[in-house]
C-alpha cells in the first residue's frame, strides 16, 4: 500500500533507461509519476501542471539538475527537488543543500533507497504544506518599536558568541529570520546555515536527517550519507520546532549539544560537531518540562541565550514599516515596481488585528499587490481584501477573542445572503474571481498563480476542478 497515494513526481534524466526504471519504481509504489529527458522539458512541464516532487539527475546537457533547481527557486517555485548524482561527495551535497535541494541520492541506487528518500521528502512536504508560507529568506529584522529594538540588541550580542540560542514566540513572528540574522552576523557567516524542521519528521527520519547513516543501517541505506550536522560543519544548525521532538530523540540531541558529539545511524564511530546551534519553538517548554514531555536538562542546554520574538499586537507601530517594505519587495517580485500603499491603506492595516503576526501581514500585502488595479493601494482595497479572505479576524478592541455579534432583524438567515444567494455560492464566486485574476496576472502559469494566491500547486489544481475552471486555465 502506498504511503502517499496520488502524489505526483516528475522524473528528469537524460538517460532514458534510468528514467524509465525510476518511473516504474514510483508507479509500483502507487505514486503518480511522469518522465522528461531534459531540464528544459522539466521547466515546461512544471509550468503546465502541479507536482509534489522533482527527482532529477545532476549531470545533464543544457539545464542540469542544479541549474533546474536554481531556476525553480528563482521563479518562486518551492517544489521539493531530489538530486541524483554519481558524484556523491559532501561538497556536492553542501552545494545542493545551499541551493535549496530537499535531498540527494548517489548512483548506483537501489529500489528501497529511492522509495525511502522519496517517501521521506513527500512526508516533509505534505506536513509543511499545511503551514502558512514562510517569510522571505532575509536576515533582516524589521521594526523600530521598543520590543523590536530590544530583540535586535539581543540578536546582535548573541551573534558574536558561540552560545546556543533559543528563539521563543508565536507562529509567524519571524523566528527563522532572527536565526538567519544571528548566523549572518556571526564569525561563522561564511559557513552553511542548515535548517532542520524537527516537527515535520518521525523519529527515524529525523535521526537520519540529523546524524546521517552508514551503508546497511536500515532497509534502503545502500550507501553512506552525511546528515545535516555534517553539512553544517563550520556553520549554524537551526533546529526549528524543537518543542515537537520526542523524548527518545531528545536524549541524542542532549549529547549533541552538550558533548558536541554524535554517531551516524549504523556506525560505532563518534563524530565531532563543529556547529553553532540555534533552536526555535512556539511551544511552552516550561509546561512541557512539568508534564514530563520535555527533558529538563535539554531545556537548560537549549536556553543558554533565550530570545523572545514579540507578536505583532505588542508592536503595532511597526506595521507601517513592515507593510511598506513588503509592498516594495513583493511589488518588485511580481512585476509591479513602484506600487505603493496610500496613507488610508496604511491606517487600515494598522487598525487591523494580525493573529498570524508578521507572516499574516505579509500574505495580505502580497494579495493586495497581486490584485491592485492602480499604482497606489487604497483603504477600500485593503477592506475588500480583508472581507473576502477567509481568516481568523479580531476586532480592534480585542487581541485574542472576537466579539459576538447579534444579527439585525432584517438580516438573512444563517447561511443565506441578503440577495438570496447562499453564503457558499458567494464564497465560490469570490474565489473564482480571485483564481481567474491570479491566472491572468501569472499569464496562465499555474505554478506562479498558486504562489500569488499563497497556496500549493495541488490545492490550486483541485480548486480549478471544483470551480470547473480547468478548461479556462
Segment 348-385, tens digit of pLDDT:
999 998 999 999 999 999 999 999 888 899 999 999 88
The boundaries of the domain holding residue 264 are 146-310
Distance CA 352, CA 228 (A): 40
- Grid cell digits, residue 224: 553512506
Length of the chain: 473
Q: Please, are residues 370 and 452 in contact by the beta-carbon 8 Å criterion?
A: yes
Give the HSE-up count for residue 380: Cα atoms under 13 Å, Cβ half-sphere. 2
Q: Has residue 318 got a pLDDT over 60?
A: yes
Question: Do strands 53-57 and 81-85 pair parallel, antiparallel, or not at all (unpaired)?
Answer: parallel
Q: Are residues 248 and 283 in the same domain?
A: yes
Q: Please, are residues 402 and 355 in contact by the beta-carbon 8 Å criterion?
A: no
Q: Is the residue at 111 inside a domain?
A: yes
C-alpha dihedral (368, 373, 375, 378), degrees to nearest 10 = -60
Q: Has residue 421 got a pLDDT over 70?
A: no
How sure is the predictor about 89, in pLDDT bands with cuts at 50, 70 and 90? low
Q: Are residues 221 and 297 in the same domain?
A: yes
Q: Please, are residues 228 and 104 in contact by the beta-carbon 8 Å criterion?
A: no
Q: Has residue 333 got a pLDDT over 70?
A: yes
* Torsion-angle region of 212 (φ positive above 0: left; ψ -120 to 50: alpha; else: beta): left
Q: Has residue 123 got a pLDDT over 90?
A: no
Q: Are residues 304 and 326 in the same domain?
A: no
pLDDT at 391: 53
Out of 128, 163, 186, a domain closes at 128
Q: Please, are residues 166 and 205 in contact by the beta-carbon 8 Å criterion?
A: no
Q: Has residue 309 got a pLDDT over 90?
A: yes
Give the HSE-up count for residue 355: Cα atoms under 13 Å, Cβ half-sphere. 11
What does the DSSP assignment read for 101-156? -SEEEESS--HHHHHHHHHHHHHHHHHHTTSPPPPPS-------SHHHHHHHHHHH
Q: Are residues 186 and 301 in the same domain?
A: yes
Q: Is the residue at 413 inside a domain?
A: no
Burial of 313 (0-12, 13-18, 19+ CB in 10 A): middle
Out of 84, 101, 128, a domain closes at 128
Q: Are residues 76 and 118 in the same domain?
A: yes
Q: Please, are residues 53 and 82 in contact by the beta-carbon 8 Å criterion?
A: yes
Q: Is the residue at 257 inside a domain?
A: yes
Amino acid at each position: 500500500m502506498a504511503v502517499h497515494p496520488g502524489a505526483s513526481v516528475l522524473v528528469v534524466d537524460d538517460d532514458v533507461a534510468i528514467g524509465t526504471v525510476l518511473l516504474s519504481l514510483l508507479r509500483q509504489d502507487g505514486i503518480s509519476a511522469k518522465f522528461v529527458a531534459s531540464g528544459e522539458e522539466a521547466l515546461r512541464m512544471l509550468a503546465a501542471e502541479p507536482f509534489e516532487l522533482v527527482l532529477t539527475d545532476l549531470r545533464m546537457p543544457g539545464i542540469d539538475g542544479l541549474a533546474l533547481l536554481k531556476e525553480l527557486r528563482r521563479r518562486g517555485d518551492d517544489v521539493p527537488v531530489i538530486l541524483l548524482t554519481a558524484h556523491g561527495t559532501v561538497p556536492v551535497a553542501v552545494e545542493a543543500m545551499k541551493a535549496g535541494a530537499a535531498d540527494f541520492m548517489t548512483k548506483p541506487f537501489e529500489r528501497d533507497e529511492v522509495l525511502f528518500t522519496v517517501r521521506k521528502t513527500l512526508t516533509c512536504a505534505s506536513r509543511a504544506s499545511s503551514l502558512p508560507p514562510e517569510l522571505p529568506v532575509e536576515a533582516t529584522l524589521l521594526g523600530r518599536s521598543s520590543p523590536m529594538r530590544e530583540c535586535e540588541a539581543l540578536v546582535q550580542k548573541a551573534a558574536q558568541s558561540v552560545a546556543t540560542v533559543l528563539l521563543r514566540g508565536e507562529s509567524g513572528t519571524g523566528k527563522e529570520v532572527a536565526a538567519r540574522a544571528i548566523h549572518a552576523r556571526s564569525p561563522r557567516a561564511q559557513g552553511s546555515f542548515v535548517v532542520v524542521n524537527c516537527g515535520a519528521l518521525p523519529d527515524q527520519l529525523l535521526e537520519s536527517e540529523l546524524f546521517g547513516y552508514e551503508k546497511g543501517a536500515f532497509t534502503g541505506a545502500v550507501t553512506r550519507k552525511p546528515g545535516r550536522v555534517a553539512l553544517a560543519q563550520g556553520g549554524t544548525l537551526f533546529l526549528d520546532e524543537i518543542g515537537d521532538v520526542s523524548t527518545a530523540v531528545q536524549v541524542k540531541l542532549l549529547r549533541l549539544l552538550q558533548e558536541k558529539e554524535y554517531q551516524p545511524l549504523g556506525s560505532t564511530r563518534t563524530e565531532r560537531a563543529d556547529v553553532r546551534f540555534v533552536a526555535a519553538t512556539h511551544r511552552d517548554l516550561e509546561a512541557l518540562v512539568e508534564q514530563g514531555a520535555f527533558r529538563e536538562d535539554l531545556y537548560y542546554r537549549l536556553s543558554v541565550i533565550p530570545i523572545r520574538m514579540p507578536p505583532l499586537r505588542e508592536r503595532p507601530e511597526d506595521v507601517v514599516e513592515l507593510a511598506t517594505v513588503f509592498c516594495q519587495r513583493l511589488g518588485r517580485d511580481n512585476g509591479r515596481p513602484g506600487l505603493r500603499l496610500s496613507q488610508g491603506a496604511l491606517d487600515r492595516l494598522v487598525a487591523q488585528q494580525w493573529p498570524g503576526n508578521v507572516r499574516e501581514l505579509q500574505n495580505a500585502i502580497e494579495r493586495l499587490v497581486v490584485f491592485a488595479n492602480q499604482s497606489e493601494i487604497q483603504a477600500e482595497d485593503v477592506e475588500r481584501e480583508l472581507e473576502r479572505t477567509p481568516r481568523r479576524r479580531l476586532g480592534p478592541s480585542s487581541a485574542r477573542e472576537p466579539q459576538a455579534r447579534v444579527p439585525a432583524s432584517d438580516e438573512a438567515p444563517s447561511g443565506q445572503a441578503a440577495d438570496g444567494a447562499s453564503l457558499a455560492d458567494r464564497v465560490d464566486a469570490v474565489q473564482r474571481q480571485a483564481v481567474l485574476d491570479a491566472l491572468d496576472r501569472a499569464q496562465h502559469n499555474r505554478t506562479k498563480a498558486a504562489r500569488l494566491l499563497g497556496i500549493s500547486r495541488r490545492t490550486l489544481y483541485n480548486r480549478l476542478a471544483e470551480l470547473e475552471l480547468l478548461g479556462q486555465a
